[in-house]
């Protein structure tokens, strides 16, 4: 890395870091104020602070693309305002070389975002939601009102309370064949036993097993019952607590595979999966647009104008994403198309403007 390359890199990296700090600080304040509205009885300011703390990895992950865009506009804008970009280009440095120097800190930022999204984000988001629900409802579980329904092949299941650490309360299973219900099972409690190597099971306690065969109904009381299923506590909590775009790629892949084997629609999880996979590309695409604007339409604009333009571009990109994601679920087109379309537009606009600026 030569001196000019290093100088551009450090300048853009600094402004990107400031953009991350600014946007992250703004989200922290807004989240804190929003949660303060719910402070009553058992949900105290202590819980608000914990919710904000647990939510910080999510906030950091979400601001990465927009911080990279604004930071790039600000960093290269500083160089443009002081005529340093003109001098650098006069020294024989091509615009592509300058662009590559500005892209390097964005790639590092995208990598950090992906690292946080795969390690800290899923667990911290789960902790934030569970802690908030338990504090506000005074329950030991994370179950929505009315319990939680799920299906696996021909077995329909209902859980009154889904607790943490693999504990279920009020477990009801309904078994069906092609025509009718063949048996039902009710257990007061179910505890997950993680043995490994496909030997995991739920140990159901105080079980009432009802067999339905023709005109005869057989009811049997059992102290315990081993329920072997591919359903795990992580799959349940992921379904209830964490949105697909907050889960890790590994969790999403497991969830998609499970739902496909059960013949269930996995589109919303596929959207989350591809969104996570292509997040670094989205960051690079937005930064490329920012670079092309510095060499083109915003060459002689003030710093405030550049920052505002970065915010507008970021909002437009987000709006496009939020428009296509539900549209893919409603109209049934591929989640990959819904995810890649805004990114492709960014690259197309960025490359077009960049070539014109040259």
pLDDT tens track for 217-257? 888 899 999 998 888 887 777 677 677 888 889 988 988 88
Do 132 and 168 belong to one domain? no
Do 133 and 153 belong to one domain? no
Residue 324: burial class (beta carbons within 10 Å; 0-12, 13-18, 19+): buried
pLDDT-based confidence at 154, cuts 50/70/90? confident
Q: Which helix (H) or strand (E) holds 224?
A: strand 216-227
| 218 contact partners, CB below 8 Å, separation of at least 6 | 210, 211
Q: Which domain holds residue 226?
A: 148-240
Q: Measure the CA–CA gap between 259 and 256, rounded to whole angstroms.
A: 5
In a domain, 312, yes or no: yes
Do 114 and 163 belong to one domain? no
Share of the chain above pLDDT 70, in %: 91
Q: Measure the CA–CA gap between 268 and 112, rounded to whole angstroms.
A: 25
Domain count for the chain: 2
In a domain, 254, yes or no: no
Residues 137, 38 contacting (CB under 8 angstroms): no
pLDDT-based confidence at 300, cuts 50/70/90? low
Do 132 and 272 belong to one domain? yes
In a domain, 250, yes or no: no
Do 345 and 273 belong to one domain? yes
pTM comes to: 0.79
Do 132 and 193 belong to one domain? no
Do 73 and 8 belong to one domain? yes
| 302 contact partners, CB below 8 Å, separation of at least 6 | none
Per-residue DSSP letters for 120-168?
HHHHHHHHHHHHHHHHHH--SB-PPTT-EEEEETTEEEEEEEEBSSSEE
Burial 104-137 (b: 16+ CB within 10 A, else e): ebbeebbeebbebbbebbbebbbbbbbbbbbbee
**With 80 as the cut, is the pLDDT of residue 298 above it?**
no
In a domain, 263, yes or no: no
Do 223 and 274 belong to one domain? no
- Half-sphere exposure at residue 139, Cβ-oriented, CA atoms within 13 angstroms: 19
In a domain, 23, yes or no: yes
Do 129 and 277 belong to one domain? yes
In a domain, 142, yes or no: no
Q: Measure the CA–CA gap between 310 and 119, rounded to whole angstroms.
A: 29
Do 107 and 230 belong to one domain? no
Q: Measure the CA–CA gap between 185 and 234, rounded to whole angstroms.
A: 23
The pLDDT tens digits of the residues spanning 99-113 come to 899 999 999 999 999
| pLDDT higher at 104 or 197 | 104
In a domain, 339, yes or no: yes
What was the pLDDT predicted at 349?
87
In a domain, 31, yes or no: yes
| pLDDT higher at 77 or 282 | 282
Q: Which of 240, 256, 288 is the last residue of a domain?
A: 240
Do 178 and 64 belong to one domain? no
Do 108 and 174 belong to one domain? no
């Amino acid at each position: 890395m030569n001196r000019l390359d290093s100088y551009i890199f450090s300048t853009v990296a600094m402004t990107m870091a400031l953009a991350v700090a600014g946007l992250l600080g703004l989200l922290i304040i807004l989240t804190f104020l929003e949660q303060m509205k719910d402070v009553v009885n058992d949900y105290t300011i202590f819980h608000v602070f914990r919710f904000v703390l647990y939510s910080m990895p999510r906030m950091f992950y979400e601001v990465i693309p927009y911080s990279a865009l604004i930071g790039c506009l600000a960093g290269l804008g500083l160089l443009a305002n002081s005529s340093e970009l003109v001098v650098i280009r006069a020294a024989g440095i091509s615009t592509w070389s300058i662009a590559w120097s500005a892209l390097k800190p964005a790639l590092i930022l995208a990598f950090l975002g992906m690292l946080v999204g795969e390690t800290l984000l899923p667990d911290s988001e789960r902790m934030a939601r569970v802690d908030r629900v338990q504090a506000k409802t005074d329950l030991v579980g994370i179950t929505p009102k009315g319990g939680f329904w799920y299906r696996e092949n021909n077995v329909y299941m209902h859980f009154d309370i889904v607790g943490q650490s693999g504990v279920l309360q009020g477990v009801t299973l309904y078994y069906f064949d092609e025509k009718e219900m063949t048996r039902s099972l009710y257990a007061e409690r179910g505890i997950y036993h993680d043995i490994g190597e496909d030997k995991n099971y739920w140990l159901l306690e105080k079980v009432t097993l009802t067999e339905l065969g023709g005109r005869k109904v057989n009811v049997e009381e059992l102290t315990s019952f081993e329920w072997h299923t591919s359903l795990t506590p992580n799959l349940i909590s992921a379904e209830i607590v964490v949105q697909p775009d907050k889960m890790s790629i590994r969790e999403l892949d497991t969830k998609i595979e499970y739902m496909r084997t059960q013949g269930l629609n996995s589109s919303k999880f596929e959207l989350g999966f591809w969104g996570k996979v292509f997040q670094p590309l989205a960051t690079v695409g937005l930064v490329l647009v920012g670079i092309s604007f510095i060499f083109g339409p915003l060459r002689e604009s003030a710093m405030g104008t550049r920052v505002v333009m970065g915010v507008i571009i970021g909002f437009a990109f987000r709006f496009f994403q939020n428009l296509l994601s539900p549209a893919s679920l409603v109209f049934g087109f591929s989640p990959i198309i819904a995810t890649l379309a805004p990114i492709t537009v960014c690259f197309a606009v960025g490359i077009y403007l960049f070539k014109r600026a040259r």
